[in-house]
Structure 1
């Protein structure tokens, strides 16, 4: 039995619909949201600049109240403070994402062990505004950091002392939330399976035409063992995940996504024809043009169906993540997919509309279940993981569809082979997460050349035998290795 060394909380976001409120309460809430939207917008304009790099969100309130007071908008001070803190936390997260992107550029600009000290020094400068004196870092940050702006005016943030929750029946609760008038609380009824507590966010969902309460739910603690089992995960399209143990998770994902994308593409092609007809008839027959627009070109029904499609795909991805962890605390190595997944079976429209969304959902779902099981997800450099022979760790072999054929003729399952390579990449000291594709290729070609040298062959011999893809022959690393390791004549 492994020794228990710690615990972590199982936390998830829950969306609770509002099922009852009076018309006067609704009007007051919408008025509050509009006023708090001004606070949110001005907070982003003030704190979103580069001058507030390394912002401490706890010190944001005085900076905003120096030019905008609650009385000028007729707002309670607490509601304004909670909104400012929420904006400051969002800006802090945006800065952290920018730092991650800049560090990646630093690793690309200064690769290798000889530049380790330079990378460390540059990364250290990103913690505060000292990077402004470094022209290189300043340029990197200027390209990656997007100055904050906000047009959000449909939400109110409440802390625990801003509302009271009272149970009415089994799945119905009444919330008494702070309003514009001091001492007077507005009552709304929500449908929930648990009592609401902690920070909540009241949102007016305009696409669904309803109010919702978003909150974090704590489902208890999970114990973390001292020795987590390591596993590699290949993210795909046909299956959501394929692990290094040889199991596929979310097998129906590709079939369902393709069906839905084909329907969307076909419908949009037909809409384009109707749209052209509508524009043509605007002057010739305005009445018919208006009928076509009203009956065929509105988005209400299609948006509803698109949300249903996304919900179905989200359910498949969530079930795949749950199946992958299976309640076990793991150390997961996964691909760092910064580009959309490429697949010949998909249309370009599919890649644009669905792939990037699915990629984000896979990442979020993995992280959610990792948090719930006390696991750790580590992202690795994904280049060439599907083109490496997991047995030898070289570029000898060829992938074709779901099969990977090794140089000796043995056929492996391609996704299983890729998952094993990702697992090996997680502990690879030569290939870091931020290395470029060209640098990874150079490392792998050197390993391949060393392997072939033991067989008395060279890289050129491997290309001639069909073991190595000829695309590698155009690189500088390949030409350099031909000189260093020429092999022996066959």
Structure 2
């Protein structure tokens, strides 16, 4: 039996304006500290400093640099540590994506990939490659005949591609608190304020008490407290049952056992799309009227429209309500799948670099928000970890375009896949069976280029 992290939430009752103002002040200052760290230490030249956040913290205290934040020391130290942790995670993600790109690059030999992975493993080498500084080739590669200039340039090019923008925290609605910044008493959590010796007493809806670093999130006139807890995972007593699943829009999950789960997602998304279209049409009409009154100099009429017809409170409330409904339905469908199929392993597509918008027509694009794809993956992984189910990602190339029986390329039209040899089959079921078969395919790995995948599949048919 293993363990995993589960985030539990505590909720407050409505807060008075004075408390909200103080929480907003702390949140904004906390955000300012993080953004300063992001802007100062996210660049290539700061790679050698990634393990020196404690040294930087001590320097801020010594030079009194930290006094500008107007925060108790524990707050800005937490913000500094959190920002550095995010920067380190960003560089780790960049390195992983460089490695994945190198795996799919057919022009690289195994020795080339070994050299690149070695450079990425050590920040000193990685920093010198990115900044064009000279360094002695590691001993393990000195007797190899490698094109070091080409490989170093490749590392730089891939790193630039995946570096992205400097992180930036827009919202000042959240901040972290450690055990020295809060204490529980009489159903309240008392959080340290910016005034020395005073705490904010916030009444909670439950009497649970935790003793770890947590996150405080201000939502309107209430707060949520997010607490990460270690929990034990379930023991999986099921007989070996490996299934393939195809994640889609019309059916949330199509399984290689010919079963479907989450058939109601399509209808749910369609209704919300229609509602948002009407709401946005009305808002656009009022915006046009607002701008017309401004041009005419009728400031009073313009402000009346803005105050009464262009607010975001109800709009955001309804959207949030829909998002929570969709999340609840996704979890319900996933629980159904696990309880009925009783899998010991789930095989699915790795869609990290696939945009769902490219897979569907315009009418569907409006219905699929990007968060849905990420949320589905996160919940599958969470449920699998909790239920001790292994999950495996496979290469998604052409899983929906070939027949799972004979391997011939066919045509997909909506829910129907037509194979020139085997006839018609449900498209999602066909894809899920191909996904399961791909797990055992020794020629097509997770990182095989899609062009190479097509070539392999065509050769098999011929």
Which category of TM-score, normalised to the shorter sequence, fits these structures?
A: 0.7 to 0.9
Contact 2:269 2:367 (C-alpha < 8 Å) held by counterparts: no
TM norm structure 1: 0.79
1:19 is paired with a residue of what secondary structure? coil
* Counterpart among 319, 333, 341 of residue 306 in structure 1: 319
1:66 is paired with a residue of what secondary structure? helix
Alpha-carbon separation, structure 2, partners of 1:48 and 1:329: 42
Contact 1:20 1:190 (C-alpha < 8 Å) held by counterparts: no
Structure 1 residue 63: Cα displacement: 1.9
* 1:105 aligned residue: 101
* 1:247 aligned residue: 259
Contact 2:20 2:221 (C-alpha < 8 Å) held by counterparts: no
Structure 1 residue 234: Cα displacement: 0.3
Alpha-carbon separation, structure 2, partners of 1:230 and 1:254: 27
Gaps of 5+ in 2: 133-151
- For 1:298-335, what per-residue CA distance to the aligned partner results, in whole angstroms no more than 9, with x for missing partners? 32221111111111111111112222222956322212
Tell me, yes or no, if structure 1 residue 264 matches structure 2 residue 276.
Answer: yes
Alpha-carbon separation, structure 2, partners of 1:279 and 1:371: 53
* 1:144 aligned residue: 162
TM norm structure 2: 0.83
Q: 1:39 to 1:396 in 2, by over 3 A?
A: closer
Q: 1:297 to 1:192 in 2, by over 3 A?
A: same
Structure 1 residue 383: Cα displacement: 1.6
Contact 1:40 1:152 (C-alpha < 8 Å) held by counterparts: no
Tell me, yes or no, if structure 1 residue 13 matches structure 2 residue 7.
Answer: yes
2:233 is paired with a residue of what secondary structure? strand
Aligned pairs for 1:325-344 (under 5 A) are 325-326=338-339, 328=342, 330-337=344-351, 338-342=353-357
Q: 1:343 to 1:75 in 2, by over 3 A?
A: closer
* 1:85 aligned residue: 81
Alpha-carbon separation, structure 1, partners of 2:312 and 2:457: 50
Alpha-carbon separation, structure 1, partners of 2:309 and 2:19: 36
* Counterpart among 235, 243, 262 of residue 231 in structure 1: 243
Q: 1:32 to 1:294 in 2, by over 3 A?
A: closer
Q: 1:69 to 1:373 in 2, by over 3 A?
A: farther
1:139 is paired with a residue of what secondary structure? helix
Structure 1 residue 51: Cα displacement: 3.0
Q: 1:88 to 1:238 in 2, by over 3 A?
A: same
Alpha-carbon separation, structure 2, partners of 1:76 and 1:355: 40
* Counterpart among 5, 14, 36 of residue 42 in structure 1: 36
Alpha-carbon separation, structure 1, partners of 2:206 and 2:229: 12
Aligned pairs for 1:347-426 (under 5 A) are 347=362, 351=365, 354-392=368-406, 394-426=407-439
Contact 1:10 1:222 (C-alpha < 8 Å) held by counterparts: no
Contact 1:335 1:382 (C-alpha < 8 Å) held by counterparts: yes
Contact 2:412 2:418 (C-alpha < 8 Å) held by counterparts: yes
Tell me, yes or no, if structure 1 residue 192 matches structure 2 residue 217.
Answer: no
Aligned pairs for 1:461-480 (under 5 A) are none
Alpha-carbon separation, structure 2, partners of 1:259 and 1:79: 44
Moved more, 88-97 or 127-136: 127-136
Structure 1 residue 78: Cα displacement: 2.5
Q: 1:187 to 1:298 in 2, by over 3 A?
A: closer
Structure 1 residue 419: Cα displacement: 0.7
Gaps of 5+ in 1: 1-6, 450-490
* 1:441 aligned residue: 454
Which stretches of structure 1, 4 residues or longer, exceed 6 Å deviation after superposition?
Answer: none
* Counterpart among 53, 61, 71 of residue 60 in structure 1: 53
Aligned pairs for 1:163-182 (under 5 A) are 163-166=182-185, 168=186, 173-181=187-195
Contact 1:329 1:375 (C-alpha < 8 Å) held by counterparts: yes
Tell me, yes or no, if structure 1 residue 32 matches structure 2 residue 50.
Answer: no
Alpha-carbon separation, structure 2, partners of 1:298 and 1:31: 24
* 2:295 aligned residue: 283
- For 1:428-471, what per-residue CA distance to the aligned partner results, in whole angstroms no more than 9, with x for missing partners? 2222223332222111111111xxxxxxxxxxxxxxxxxxxxxx
Structure 1 residue 353: Cα displacement: 6.9
Contact 1:234 1:335 (C-alpha < 8 Å) held by counterparts: yes
